[in-house]
Amino acid sequence: MTASRFVLGDRLSVCVYCGSRFGTEPAYTEAAEALGAGLAARNMRLVYGAGDVGLMGAVARAAQAGGGETFGVIPKHLFDREVGKRDLTSFVITETMHERKKVMFMNSDVVIALPGGAGTLDEMYEALTWRQLGLHDKPLILSDVDGFWQPLAALNDHMVAKGFLDRRTADALERVEGAGATLARLDEIAAG
């Protein structure tokens, strides 16, 4: 499962997990738009769940508006529900959710989670589990918009304290504050 760094050769390919809803705070949408625009400005490819709803749609539309490359992956059973966005640079329809997650992960160098729900958490934790098992060493970034991911960080600390998670694995989920800090971190990763 290990993929080489810089999937596209000379630039980062960034997987963004995020909500298919907008959430309660305008800051979530603003962060998704800022991240999408920032990826495009940096010539980094967006890899995401191919939806045109919620934060997924916001990040993709912002990347497209900036002239960025977009790679969307959606399982056929979610195509209507998440309003599959067909005007992407690359658009893949998979049979299952598991296949979707694998295709997204294998086509990215970095994984980011913006605010989201159960699906976002599932996707990021699967990537963390794969890292714990030594299957990859890709950066895993929680874009902590308005403290959204702080309860998860507290849960990770609790699991470490109770002996169910080692500190190294918990620390592999790097928490940065918002889209600006996330983009700055991507600049560092791209610089090597």
For 131-177, write each residue's pLDDT tens digit: 999 999 999 999 999 999 999 999 999 999 999 999 999 999 999 99
Domain-located, residue 1? no
pLDDT at 15: 98
What percent of the chain has a predicted confidence (pLDDT) above 70?
Answer: 93
Residue range of the domain that includes 156: 13-191
Domain-located, residue 2? no
Domain-located, residue 6? no
Task: Give the domain CATH number at 185.
Answer: 3.40.50.450
Structure-token pair, residue 61: 């539309």
On the question of pLDDT at 42 being above 70, the answer is yes
Q: Region 35-51: what's the mean pLDDT?
A: 96
Number of separate domains in the chain: 1
**Overall residue count recorded for the chain in this entry:** 192
Report pTM.
Answer: 0.93
pLDDT at 22: 98
Domain-located, residue 49? yes
Domain-located, residue 165? yes
Domain-located, residue 106? yes
Structure-token pair, residue 124: 């990021």
Torsion angle of C-alpha atoms 91, 97, 99, 101, degrees rounded to 10: 80
Q: 21: helix, coil or strand?
A: coil
For 173-192, write each residue's pLDDT tens digit: 999 999 999 999 999 999 98
On the question of pLDDT at 79 being above 90, the answer is no
On the question of pLDDT at 120 being above 80, the answer is yes
Question: Could you tell me if 36 and 58 are in contact, meaning their C-beta atoms sit under 8 angstroms apart?
Answer: yes
Domain-located, residue 183? yes
Sheet (strand 70-75) strand order: 90-94, 70-75, 45-48, 13-17, 110-113, 140-143, 173-176
Domain-located, residue 7? no
